[in-house]
Amino acid sequence: MSAAAGDDVLVRLEDLRTYFQGDRRLFDRVLGRERGVVRAVDGVDLEIRRGEVLGLVGESGSGKTTLGRTILRLTPATSGRILFEDHDVGTLRRSELRRLRRRMQMIFQDPYSSLSPRLTIAYLLTEPYTINDVPPSERYAVDELLEMVELSPELASKYPHELSGGQARRVGIARALALHPEFLVADEPTAGLDVSAAASVLNLMKDLAKRLRLTYLIITHNLNVVGYVADRIAVMYLGQLAEVGPADAILGAPAHPYTRALLSAVSEADPRRRRNGHRMLVPGEIPSPRNPPPGCRFHTRCPYAEQRSREEIPQLEEIGPGHVVACHFWEKVRAEPVPAPTSSELRA
Amino acid sequence: MSDRLLVVEGLQVTYYTAEASLEALHDVSFSVRAGEIVGVVGESGCGKSTLSASLMGVLPANGEITGGRIELGGRELRSLGTEQMRQLRGREIAMVFQDPMTSLNPTFTIGTQMVDVLRAHRGGAGGGGRELRRRAVSVLEQVGIPDAQERIDDFPHQFSGGMRQRVMIAMALMLEPGLLIADEVTSALDVTLEAQIVELLRRLRAEHGTAILFVSHDLGVIAQICDRVVVMYAGRAVEEGDVLSIFERPLHPYTRALLASVPSHRRRGERLASIPGRVPSLSSLPAGCKFANRCPYAQQVSREREPAYLEIDGRRVRCDMYDPASGWDHGAAPAGALPAEETVA
């Protein structure tokens, strides 16, 4: 274990990789190709500090959800290490893992599909206790759990389909909190919710973080959400980290072209802040992780890309306090105002 | 008058179920001028989708327009027969849906599907297969599909999410309709693709003068693209105004509450306002103002009588507590219930 960082690090990822065997499609068979490997997470080093809210952002296909699941060992890592304090999560035996799982929980993206429709809310909330053999003295009462997420105790006897989206999300959070975890991974906690329900879920998560001294990894494609709640932000692209730093630095002085592109694509609820030509748009779509581009993975969509980007993989380098970026040209990027999109950029 | 492409006046839509008849839209009025982008915003259950479906004449079988009128280019749609309506769809009014995968036929190439649209409407006239195909390619190019010449022979599943949405827009544009209804077209997309689609729609308006009814729950996208905005709640239009007024000086308490609940990286550390309670269900709508049970400004009168849709300085608002002369009586609201105007804007 490296002793470099202080003991405020709760989770440390070292060169973490998660690969999936892709399907061998018809084309592959016809052409005699082997099954492709999907490199969902491809060499991630990251620290999550105790008590912080770390936002993990990227487009669909960036590998952010897989990274979250891998940290909790819901998806097995292919290589690399996940350290939770000094426990090596990847090599723990089943019984040890179960004990550790109580301290790290996931809030799933779709509350309806993660809550069994045939069980009452009361049952769903106490199920983690039965599964984990939690002694009665360490259990919250159902009412307590509901109260914690600001739901009425009357909901205890209801079934998931009787809840609104916001309520179901809160039940998902309560269920994750039942085991007194320290670390929560929340995957798109506001996706699919109406604005006002989303706002109250975000408020709740913030309150709980303070009250229960939680550490969060919040995974989302929505920079408005992450910018609102996160202390630090990690930007992911095609299985790798493009930029990590304090939220103020990432939002105020982004140094990776991809971060800038994501920020410029945010639709702000302010008609005076329209993307009117002067804001950069990232062209095209994220390439397949089955076959990531060589060199810098972002080069196919990057307005700054040069020959070097195609040949040499940029490493994360520190450019400010706690601010790292993987771009050959970050100095140039950061110095420049956001470039205007041209019609060809719009065309993808 | 003549520049008003779409006029909706007092529209009422009712759904019939075994138990009851539910009024999904009540007294909805607004208009869209040629070349204008009008946003319709509201939370789930506010009637946005029912509105698009009634404009397109594609309400589900248990739904019916029970009042009001819809005028498109001076023609009253309710008086048109099924066949006339079918001719109108695509040519004068077309719709792009949220989920392209369920609206495209997976078993035909997109070229076949696009040419079918032309054939169905031109009835054989207007050129042979080659010309129709050329037209399809040019529309695909217009919406930014690279290598349109080749991609026209691809099947829907061979397109990525963003490209599929572009194909959907291309299909809707085949007959150069004057009005495009875009129903939650960006909701399933990443921010980057969302921005691209918004740019595309803006460009279509600029280059072809296409009017767009942009239906969305996302206030961010609404702010980015719309000239005017209609805010809906529980089947009613509750406020309408130009986009700046709506975002900077919202009149209806619901609009204010919605705006105050949008997270943003510019509001770090602030607490988001959330609206207490839930949207009332159609089967148990309260008697008076439908927002009264969640509104800090509500008074006895709000609970008793449905507020009229008042016109004030070119805007409209449905709230009895708003006084055009003095504006809001802030004393009526509990302190801190709604953020002050400065933080809303």
Tokens 């594609």 — which residue? B58
The interface predicted TM-score (ipTM) is 0.82
Query: Is A59 a domain residue?
Result: yes
B226 contacts on A by Cβ (under 8 Å): 271
Q: How many domains does chain A have?
A: 1
User: Which residues between 207 and 246 in chain A have a beta carbon less than 8 angstroms from any beta carbon of chain B?
Assistant: 221-229
* Residue B262, SS3 per DSSP: coil
User: Which residues between 258 and 287 in chain B have a beta carbon less than 8 angstroms from any beta carbon of chain A?
Assistant: 258-259, 261-268, 271-275, 278
Structure tokens at B43: 């939370």
The pLDDT tens digits for A145-158 are: 999 998 999 999 99
**What is the CA angle B53-B56-B62, rounded to 5?**
45
**Which residue on chain B is closest to A226 by alpha carbon?**
B265
Query: Is A259 a domain residue?
Result: no
Confidence tier at A34 by pLDDT (50, 70, 90):
low
Structure tokens at B198: 């918004």
Cα distances (Å, whole numbers) of residue A262 to A180, A195, A258, A281, B261:
35, 21, 6, 8, 22
Instruction: Read off the CATH number of the domain in which A33 is found.
Output: 3.40.50.300
- A287 against B41, higher pLDDT: B41
CB contact under 8 A, B44 and A194: yes
B161 contacts on A by Cβ (under 8 Å): 60, 285
Which burial class, exposed, middle or buried, applies to B17 when counting CB atoms under 10 A from its CB (0-12, 13-18, 19+)? exposed
pLDDT at residue B44 in the model: 85
Over 80: is that where the pLDDT of A280 sits? no
Cα distances (Å, whole numbers) of residue B172 to B117, B179, B209:
9, 10, 15
- A241 against B326, higher pLDDT: A241
Q: Are B338 and B256 in contact (CB under 8 A)?
A: yes
Q: Distance of alpha carbon B50 from its chain centroid, rounded?
A: 10
Structure tokens at B321: 């507590």
CB contact under 8 A, B258 and A195: yes
Cα distances (Å, whole numbers) of residue A268 to B202, B262, B266:
16, 9, 9
Query: Is A173 a domain residue?
Result: no
Query: Is A294 a domain residue?
Result: no
pLDDT at residue A28 in the model: 63
**How far is B310 from B298, CA to CA, in rounded Å?**
17
Q: Distance of alpha carbon B121 from its chain centroid, rounded?
A: 25
- Mean pLDDT for A165-173 is 91
Domain boundaries, chain B: 250-344
**Which residue on chain A is closest to B259 by alpha carbon?**
A269
The pLDDT tens digits for A46-102 are: 999 999 999 999 998 899 999 999 999 999 999 999 999 999 999 999 989 988 989
Q: Which of A264-268, A288-292, B108-112 has the highest mean pLDDT?
A: B108-112
CB contact under 8 A, B146 and A196: no
User: Which residues between 87 and 146 in chain B have a beta carbon less than 8 angstroms from any beta carbon of chain A?
Assistant: 144, 146
- Best mutation site among A167, A194, A210 for testing chain B: the one with the most B CBs within 10 Å? A194
- B337 against A258, higher pLDDT: A258
Query: Is A39 a domain residue?
Result: yes
pLDDT at residue B327 in the model: 67
- Mean pLDDT for A220-244 is 94
Q: Compute the count of residue pairs across chains A and B with CB atoms less than 8 Å apart.
A: 142
Walk along chain B (345 residues) in steps of 10 and give the mean pLDDT of each run: 85 94 96 97 91 94 96 93 89 85 86 88 68 92 90 91 88 92 88 89 93 95 96 97 95 94 85 85 90 91 92 91 67 44 36
State the amino acid at position A229 in one-letter form: V
- Domain range for A187 is 9-103+181-253
Task: Judge whether A104 is closer than 8 Å to chain B, CB to CB.
Answer: no
Structure tokens at B287: 């008697």
Other CB atoms within 10 Å distance of the CB of residue B81: 8
Structure tokens at A269: 């609820």
Over 70: is that where the pLDDT of A7 sits? no
Tokens 């805007």 — which residue? B315
In terms of Cα–Cα distance, which of B186, B184, B204, B203 is closest to B195?
A: B186
Read off the pTM: 0.87
* Residue B337, SS3 per DSSP: coil
CB contact under 8 A, B199 and A341: yes
Confidence tier at A274 by pLDDT (50, 70, 90):
confident
Query: Is A246 a domain residue?
Result: yes
